[in-house]
Amino acid sequence: MPLTLRQRNRLAAMHHIIETAMDLFDEHGYSAVTVEQVAAAAGVSPRTFYRYFGTKEGLFATDTHAAVGQDLLAEQLDLDDLPGTLQRIVASVYAAAAPSGEVAAHTPWRGMRYVLEEPAVREAVYTALDDLAERLVAALRSKGVTPTQARVTVRAYLFGVYFGALEQWHLDGRVRPLPDYVQQGSAVLARPPADSNSSR
Amino acid sequence: MPLTLRQRNRLAAMHHIIETAMDLFDEHGYSAVTVEQVAAAAGVSPRTFYRYFGTKEGLFATDTHAAVGQDLLAEQLDLDDLPGTLQRIVASVYAAAAPSGEVAAHTPWRGMRYVLEEPAVREAVYTALDDLAERLVAALRSKGVTPTQARVTVRAYLFGVYFGALEQWHLDGRVRPLPDYVQQGSAVLARPPADSNSSR
DNA sequence: CGCTATATGGCAGTAGGTGTCATATTGACA
DNA sequence: TGTCAATATGACACCTACTGCCATATAGCG
């Protein structure tokens, strides 16, 4: 069932505010722009901004991760193949946002710069990853995986492979396609990682 | 060369503030206690509090992770055996703080409750882990490990194994010793994790 | 067309955090 | 031991993120 008018208006308004905010951030820097300025530039009251996003950093957590996560995750999730799931979702989002191989000034990669460079934004995304991890852990546990195993595995993929790939991709200047990094990252976990005699 | 008097006074003052703060947190809850109240109860000005800890959450990032990390890491770090290094450090800190097997109301485990239960505190610790990860990645790279491999490995151990173990340990009521969880967590990464053909 | 639910804006207030300057304390050195 | 420079502290003013509350407007439905 499609969205009601109110919901569509709400999403459109949020999108507009996000774009407006990113323009201001790109011009003056993240911390130099106040919520009041964003709200004014977008033509809403500060109070409305907070109703939409909760916090200044909510601009990023709402859009990039949560929204994408909801739709794609539901249809792509395969609890028996976490690396594959991650790979498919990232590839899908990346391809949609970067059709020509170039990452344009587009959602959801436009704001990624601030996710990786602004500690406050990064922290907000970490919290979003925490929530996602909690749901995935619950799903894995309902399939009989032990708590510790489920938790460590999910967190290793989200915080290690996914965010690590994102970070390295950004640090390398966003030249090579992001899915390549995710691929490599998964390979690291697939074989006993980075030491001579593994655990012990 | 040992610490100068100023440094020792500073550390003592910080310790006192931390203990005072934890008392207040335990009594009224983290978010219900203001920095102003902590400062007043500890007998310092709010300005001094911020000079010491930077933020309210700095109470946790400064003590638990950074301080321990500096001393122990330097002597325990073995870049060829990350899981072993993690295991030794956690075991060492855990044994020192819980000599009898019980985790007393002691640094650095006393505040751990808020690290795991208060999102703002958790985020601050994540940022501390980010810093530590960056240093470890640099060290690994200088040994010839590729960037992606180094980053994913380090983050998988810090955010996956270490923090995941901490979280599960806390969720389980802190009954079993923490090092056991770290041990199990490392084992998860040591063999290809969480997909159809291995685990479960 | 009118009614109800929901969305918005304005206002006042709380709390976290910083720059600045004056004052006190410390530690080194004569 | 007394003096002086370096450093630590406190007081004040200020900014900004964020919230509760209430009045008002707008959308959607019968």
Torsions phi, psi of A46, nearest 5? -50, -40
Task: Write out chain A's pLDDT in tens, 200 residues.
Answer: 566 777 788 888 999 999 999 999 999 999 999 999 999 999 999 999 999 999 999 999 875 455 555 666 777 889 999 999 999 999 988 887 765 555 555 556 788 999 999 999 999 999 999 999 999 999 999 999 999 999 999 999 999 999 999 999 999 999 999 999 999 999 999 876 544 444 33
Distance B47 CA to C18 C1' (A): 9
pLDDT score at A192: 65
Q: Is there a contact between A6 and A12 (Cβ–Cβ < 8 Å)?
A: no
Name the residue ranges covered by the structural domains of chain B: 1-55, 57-200
- Which residues share a beta bridge with A81? B195
For B34, the 3-state DSSP assignment is: coil
Q: Is there a contact between A70 and A77 (Cβ–Cβ < 8 Å)?
A: no
Instruction: Say how far apart CA B156 and CA A157 lie, in whole Å.
Output: 7
CB-based contact, B160 to chain A, within 8 Å: yes
pLDDT score at A54: 96
Most B-contacting residue of A60, A78, A137, A152 (CB-CB within 10 A), to test interface: A152
pLDDT score at A51: 96
pLDDT score at A197: 43
Q: Is there a contact between A21 and A59 (Cβ–Cβ < 8 Å)?
A: yes
Distance A48 CA to D30 C1' (A): 30
The CATH number assigned to the domain with range B1-55 reads 1.10.10.60
pLDDT score at A104: 56
CA angle at residue B19 from B158 to B120, to 5 degrees? 45
Find the length of chain A: 200
- Which residues share a beta bridge with B195? A81
pLDDT score at A96: 78
CA angle at residue A153 from B102 to A92, to 5 degrees? 150
pLDDT score at A62: 79
Of A162, A154, A153, whose CA–CA distance to A135 is shortest? A154
Q: Which of A164-173, B55-64, B188-197 has the highest mean pLDDT?
A: A164-173
Mean pLDDT of B160-183: 96
Q: Which residues, 6+ apart, have CB-to-CB distance to B97 below 8 Å?
A: B103, B104, B106, B107, B108, B109
Q: Of the given ranges (A22-36, A166-180, B2-16, B143-157), which has the lowest mean pLDDT?
A: B2-16
Of A132, A133, A195, A179, whose CA–CA distance to B153 is shortest? A195
pLDDT in tens, B75-129: 788 999 999 999 999 998 888 776 555 555 555 678 899 999 999 999 999 999 9
Torsions phi, psi of A59, nearest 5? -55, -35
Return the CA Rg of chain A. 18
Of B154, B184, B174, whose CA–CA distance to B73 is shortest? B154
Judged by phi (left if over 0) then psi (alpha if -120 to 50, else beta), residue A118 lies in: beta
Which residue of A lies nearest to B79 if distances are taken between CA atoms? A195
Of A11, A22, A109, whose CA–CA distance to A52 is shortest? A11
Cβ of B119 less than 7 A from strand D: no
Is the pLDDT higher at B199 or at B178?
Answer: B178
Which residue is closest to C26 in terms of CA–C1' distance?
A: B6
Instruction: Say how far apart CA B110 and CA B104 lie, in whole Å.
Output: 7
Judged by phi (left if over 0) then psi (alpha if -120 to 50, else beta), residue A6 lies in: alpha
Q: Is there a contact between A159 and B122 (Cβ–Cβ < 8 Å)?
A: no
CB contact under 8 A, B164 and A149: no
- For residue A184 the two structure tokens come to 């490599």
Q: Is there a contact between A149 and A73 (Cβ–Cβ < 8 Å)?
A: no
Class of domain B57-200 as given by CATH? mainly alpha
CB contact under 8 A, A196 and B152: no
Q: Is there a contact between B3 and B71 (Cβ–Cβ < 8 Å)?
A: no
Per-residue pLDDT at B193 exceeds 60: no
Task: Please tell me the distance in Å from B122's CA to the nearest CA on chain A.
Answer: 8
**Residues of chain A with C-beta less than 8 angstroms from the C-beta of B185:** 148, 152
Q: Which of residues 43-72 of B touch strand C (CB under 7 A)?
A: 46-47, 50, 54-57
- Which residues share a beta bridge with A151? none
